[in-house]
């Protein structure tokens, strides 16, 4: 006989994202400074993220509408761009290298659930996006995935496993379709 999911038994006690007061304060900063489409200034967003522990390099552009779960679990390298309405759901560390572009509406999802357990336990895994990579608009990068140097995840694609350097990937799940040649 098959067991059934019982969310009443969901237990998240082993997961501790950080100080509760800091987390609550961040919630409001995220809504009013980071996500706020009326705030056109990337510098305000990077300042707020740094204030809450994000490691952000020089020349980083963060567009309006971005949402960051926990800035103290975020690292962004020099000259990287985070597009409008990107969702950085960093229940675990997310490391974004230098000269990376994460396009509009992309989702970086470092958390998931164990569908094999009736209690639907939380699973968190780090995401790494190496230098020069591009995450296309409306694409999804799942927890535990590494995008190696200068690879491309095409529009609307889902990376559920590692992507090799200079590869161009497309689809769900993302499959390599060709090599990236930079002139």
Structure-block tokens of residue 30: 């995220």
Does 170 map to a domain?
yes
Does 147 map to a domain?
yes
Helices (H), 97-176: none
Residues in the chain, pLDDT under 70: 1
Which element (helix H / strand E) includes 113?
Answer: strand 111-113
Dihedrals phi, psi of 47, to nearest 5 degrees: -60, -45
Reported pTM: 0.94
Q: In b/e form, how buried is each residue of 94-104, taking b as 16+ CB within 10 angstroms?
A: bbbbbbbbbbb
Contact (Cβ atoms closer than 8 angstroms) between residue 165 and residue 148: yes
The domain spanning residue 99 has which CATH number? Answer: 2.160.10.10
The tens digit of pLDDT for each residue in 110-125 reads 999 988 888 888 999 9
Amino acid 1: pLDDT = 65
Q: Which residues pair with 94 in a beta bridge?
A: 74, 127
- Residues 39-48: contacts with CB under 8 Å, at least 24 apart: 39/64, 40/64
Quote the radius of gyration of the chain (alpha carbons, Å).
17
Question: How many distinct structural domains can be found in the chain?
Answer: 1
C-alpha 108/C-alpha 144 separation (Å) is: 11
Dihedrals phi, psi of 23, to nearest 5 degrees: -65, -45
Does 104 map to a domain?
yes
Does 31 map to a domain?
yes
The tens digit of pLDDT for each residue in 77-99 reads 999 999 999 999 999 999 999 99
Does 7 map to a domain?
no
Does 12 map to a domain?
no
Name 15's Cβ contacts closer than 8 Å, sequence gap at least 6. Answer: 91, 122, 124
Dihedrals phi, psi of 66, to nearest 5 degrees: -70, 145
Amino acid 135: pLDDT = 98
The residue range of the domain holding 94 is: 17-179
Does 10 map to a domain?
no
Does 8 map to a domain?
no
């Amino acid at each position: 006989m098959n067991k059934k999911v019982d969310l009443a038994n969901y237990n998240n006690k082993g997961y501790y994202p950080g100080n509760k007061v800091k987390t609550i304060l961040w919630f409001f900063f995220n809504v009013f400074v980071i996500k706020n489409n009326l705030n056109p200034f990337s510098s305000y967003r990077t300042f707020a993220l740094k204030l809450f522990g994000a490691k952000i390099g020089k020349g980083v552009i963060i567009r309006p509408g971005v949402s960051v779960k926990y800035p103290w679990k975020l690292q962004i390298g020099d000259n990287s761009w985070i597009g409008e309405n990107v969702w950085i759901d960093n229940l675990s560390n997310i490391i974004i290298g230098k000269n990376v572009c994460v396009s509009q509406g992309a989702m970086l999802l470092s958390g998931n659930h164990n569908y094999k357990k009736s209690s639907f336990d939380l699973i968190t895994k780090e995401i790494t996006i190496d230098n020069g990579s591009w995450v296309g608009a409306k694409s999804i990068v799942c927890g535990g995935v590494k995008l190696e140097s200068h690879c491309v995840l095409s529009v609307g694609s889902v990376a559920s496993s590692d992507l090799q350097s200079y590869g161009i990937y497309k689809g769900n799940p993302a499959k390599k379709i060709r090599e990236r040649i930079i002139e």
